[in-house]
Amino acid sequence: MLKVVISGYLGQMGQTISKLISAREDMELVGGIDKNASSYNGNIDIYENILDFNKKCDVIIDFSHPSSIDNLINYAILNNTPLVIGTTGYGEKEIDKLKEASKNIPIFYSANMSLGINLILSLVSKAASILGEDFDIEIIEKHHNKKIDAPSGTAYMIANEINKVFNNNKSYTFGRHTKNNKRTPDEIGIHAIRGGTIVGEHTVLFAGLDEIIEIKHSAYSKNVFAKGALTAAEFIVNKEKGLYNMKDMINK
Ligand SMILES: NC(=O)C1=CN([C@@H]2O[C@H](COP(=O)(O)OP(=O)(O)OC[C@H]3O[C@@H](n4cnc5c(N)ncnc54)[C@H](OP(=O)(O)O)[C@@H]3O)[C@@H](O)[C@H]2O)C=CC1
Ligand SMILES: O=C(O)C1=N[C@H](C(=O)O)C[C@H](O)C1
């Protein structure tokens, strides 16, 4: 029985993951961590801070906010507990913290836990290498109106994957407001739209002379991310220290 703690338990992803765990016989939710723990009156042990959690757990799944990273890493290293992190909105500093911590513990990090987006990563990489410099690349992401970070972690992940094909020579242009000049070929445009309950859409546009290619992924339910997170939890518990992502899991 895999004993799981969910960080960000009271949030949308925390609740979705919790429901999937209750339906499984090989996993048990042994605790939740959330900033709003004091407002909770259900029957799960929940704490504001992971450092107050003092039972045994095999893995922590985090879908919360970048501000929780230090406590998570401190707890995980102290207790030798693997981490699955789906939180987005990290800057370079936080990514460096994950890399450093992964010298001590196994950490699985992906800004998108769906299988489909990970196929998209291969497809955009292939498209960029075939289409080359002659096509302008724009990424458009759409999410619900509760999302805090913009652009999405997935949009960055897609842009970074494309940029690798061009030896990281492309710069990122976020929206075009106030930019009263022509687009240059060395840009990847990234645009964020927020509204209603859109679960998550990512479109990559390759616009060339008289032809356009669009590669698009739409998530219709948060279950696709939650399922991926649970598969990642099963994957990471038996791993050596290190930083893992969806490619490692899919190609295992
Ligand atoms: N990798 C992936 O596949 C996916 C990633 N995500 C990412 O996961 C994260 C959570 O998404 P979602 O569930 O929609 O967001 P929610 O805001 O619904 O949930 C986050 C929860 O964490 C709480 N929280 C905030 N800061 C802390 C903290 N420092 N310690 C503990 N709890 C905290 C929030 O409280 P409060 O509301 O008061 O701030 C909230 O209850 C986001 O970064 C999102 O982009 C989402 C879906 C898929
Ligand atoms: O906040 C969300 O909801 C999502 N966030 C992730 C991101 O920022 O890429 C992944 C997914 O699209 C849903």
Pairing type for strands 200-208 and 211-219 reads antiparallel
The reported pLDDT for the residue numbered 178 is 86
Ligand 2 atom at minimum distance from 151 CA: 8
Q: How far is the CA of 204 from the centre of ligand 1 (A)?
A: 25
Residue with the nearest Cα to atom 12 of ligand 2?
200
**Neighbour count for residue 114 (Cβ, 10 Å):** 22
Per residue in 97-121, pLDDT tens?
A: 999 999 999 999 999 999 999 999 9
Which residues, in sequence order, are bridge partners of residue 176? none
**Cα–Cα dist 13/219, whole Å:** 14
Please check if 12 is assigned to a binding site.
yes
**Cα–Cα dist 161/10, whole Å:** 32
Please check if 87 is assigned to a binding site.
yes
Question: HEC string of the chain?
Answer: CEEEEEECCCCHHHHHHHHHHHCCCCEEEEEEECCCHHHCCCCCCEECCHHHCCCCCCEEEECCCHHHHHHHHHHHHHHCCCEEECCCCCCHHHHHHHHHHCCCCEEEECCCCCHHHHHHHHHHHHHHHHHHHHCEEEEEEEECCCCCCCCCHHHHHHHHHHHHHCCCCCEEEECCCCCCCCCCCCEEEEEEEECCCCCEEEEEEEEECCEEEEEEEEECCCHHHHHHHHHHHHHHCCCCCEEECHHHHHCC
- Where do the domains of the chain lie, and which CATH numbers do they carry? 2-113+222-250 (3.40.50.720), 115-219 (3.30.360.10)
Does residue 200 line the site of ligand 2, with CB under 6 A? yes
Q: Which residues are catalytic?
A: 143, 147
Please check if 218 is assigned to a binding site.
no
Which residues, in sequence order, are bridge partners of residue 247? none
Per residue in 193-228, pLDDT tens?
A: 999 999 999 999 999 999 999 999 999 999 999 999
**Which tokens sit at 33?**
């961590």
pLDDT above 80 for 252: no
Per residue in 156-180, pLDDT tens?
A: 999 999 999 999 999 999 999 888 8
Does residue 86 line the site of ligand 2, with CB under 6 A? no
CA atoms within 13 A on the CB side of 75: 24
Per residue in 10-29, pLDDT tens?
A: 999 999 999 999 999 999 99
Does residue 35 line the site of ligand 1, with CB under 6 A? yes
CA atoms within 13 A on the CB side of 5: 28
**Cα–Cα dist 25/96, whole Å:** 36
Q: Summarize the confidence of residues 32-52 as an average pLDDT.
A: 95
Task: Provide the pLDDT confidence category of residue 251 given band limits of 50, 70 and 90.
Answer: confident
Ligand nearest to the CA of 144: 2
- Is-contact 157 246, C-beta < 8 A? no
Does residue 113 line the site of ligand 1, with CB under 6 A? yes
The reported pLDDT for the residue numbered 80 is 96
